[in-house]
Structure 1
Amino acid sequence: MEPIWAVGLMTGTVLDGNIDVALLKTDGESIETFGAYALVPYPATIRDKLEEAQQAARAWNFDGPEPALFAEVEAELTCAQAAAVMKVVEEEGMTMAEIGVVGFHGQTVLHRGPRNGRLGDTRQLGDGELMHSILGTRVVYDFRSADVRAGGQGAPLVAAYHAALLGKAGARGDSAILNLGGVGNVTWWDGDGELVAFDTGPANAPINDFVRARGLGEMDRDGALAGAGRVDEARLQELLRHPYLTADYPKSLDRFDFTAAMADGLGDADGAALLTAFSASCVGKALDLLPRRPEKLYVSGGGRRNPTLMAMLDERARVETVSADRLGWRGDAVEAECFAFLAVRALRALPISFPSTTGVPEPMTGGRIAG
């Protein structure tokens, strides 16, 4: 297959009010060209409804009929994301006729990995058929469900794209990619046949929630609050006893598996410092599980903009951290690019998940295709 232009869409679980939109020219195996990338804000009303949907999802917990709110929010966010695609494509001087496929991840409202022999569950809000009807372009969506039905974790799905990036960087097992979104995930590739990926633990979500709950803004901007605090080392060590952190991979997390309640009773600065140190320390424990402990981590996602978190990674995870941007990658765009890449793989029926990344019995493709 010749490389085609694909659009990838991502909205993170931290609900920062933005849609990540990235263009990528790819054949689903290698990257030919990085196209435009933009953060397109949601209308504030949609962000508020997404927060309501997350709360409703936790109350529902995959038991009984879905909350009625889901259908309403799904239609609104699909229309908003379709508009964002058209905006970015047009601003790039292209037309939708030049776009071969859109990779529409949707908004995760609840995710549960398999436990004790029971299949997991996952729900991303996003109507691919509606988006196809608006854009007139093929849309790949619902990337995770097939993996979960096959007994996989359904996450992380970035491994195939991360491996392509690592290959571009000449990695041979001495480095890995860490994405710091609401949850952290790591991908390690030996440059040949062995590929490993899993969720490391919480990243930005508990920190952001803590800052919001204290009325101090949407996030710990520049890590200033945590940087002014003192880490309660005794409490941190207790938190690090959580069984998830030493469990074998493959494994995955929901955005609310670790919450801001870990810092209950602490002051603003000390609470932020504890949560930031915990996120960094979880990464260190994750690196100890890999087939070979990397010496260097290429860091993408919003967390790389937090200097306190990055410094704690160096210190507490005992690894050299390098912002993905220093390699010429776009650290904010990696997840959106990933779903453009995976959409092309889905068109070609290439695997998007693997036994060593999500725990499926064999490499398998995924995603539903509209159009």
Structure 2
Amino acid sequence: MKIAILGHGTVGSGVLKIIQDSALHPFEKDLSVKYVFVRPEKVDQNELFVDDYSTILNDEEVDVVVEVLGGLEPAKTMIIDALKHGKNVVTANKAVVARNLKEFDEIAEENGVKFYFESAVGGGIPWIINLERALRIDQIDSIHGILNGTSNYILDTMTKTGQSFDKVLKDAQDLGYAEADPSADIDGYDIENKLCISVDIAYNTFVKPGDHLLKFGIRNITDEDIKYFKKHNLIVKLLGRSFKKNNSFNFVVEPTLYTPGQIEAGIHDNYNFVGLRGTTIGKLTFNGQGAGEFPTAHALVQDILDLKANNVHLKRDFNEEFSLDNTTKKKNYVVRTSADLESKLPEYDIQKDGNYYHIAAIDTQKIHDVVNELSSDDKGIFFACISGGAYNPWIEK
């Protein structure tokens, strides 16, 4: 099986190393990389490197294109071109998959090829394949997870060390966990992409990222917030979750508080965690390395091996329609703000503790709307949901 890799960054180089070391891995012995697409200035660095994509598209020996360029373009166009030229495509690019999964899948089917994206959610965690396995038997009504290793590293390190957000973010950037522009990680966009893809498969629908989906990240968290939560025996994580009931579903990315002993509280460093709830399997969870050279490359090569073995993934047409409704779930929240929160929520039971407010039984849409409104007066506002099952110090005294 001949392979072309689009990109030679961290993940692309990892795929190349795994396949070239295939003597150590008997399942990969028939795999070989024929091309690596790179920028023109890098072409002379390796005999496999090319900068003319048509060379790859027009080579009938190329069976699989591995897209690891990242971003929306030219990745989208190059994926479509590969599929239309009869090439199977595997990708780790969650941003482009989240926005174009239905289109990619339809084009792949029209051209008799496959589009696989195991590594787009959870990196090295075998999440997509196990979600599909559960769906062969069960209806899935909820998904939740710590789906971004960078934000988890930041929160975990702040909790362990008491250091400031800015200091830990800089350390994450120095370690290569965070980009120079960390917005996707710390503002929840990366989790949004991954949750969209998971929801698409779980509910057989198509949900595109956008402002209509609730997101609140960790950009405003402080070391004082961490101390306050620890004082009340709570640990904060950045979580994505969705729940489906009848003809509607909710979707939210937000900081969430857990009690030590809950599984989510024990996800450390840059690890990911993701789980589902199915009709007969109940709760099923996975955790592991969510990013990096070899965990992500491992998942990409697993997709290639599935293609080689003709292992067919679960067929979804993404045509089910559900309404988005974030008002059905009532949860408890903690808000830290210097703005006048109480005047915005006169009908709610609110307890004040300095600049921290506990709000009982408020729906997710309402609290996000209020926080967004108050952010014009308090640009550093921060809030977190208290997870179900967590000890609530403001109620259980």
Q: Same fold (TM over 0.5)?
A: no
TM-score range, shorter chain: 0.3 to 0.5
Bigger Cα Rg:
2
The answer to which structure, 1 or 2, has the higher relative contact order (CA under 8 A, 6+ apart) is 1
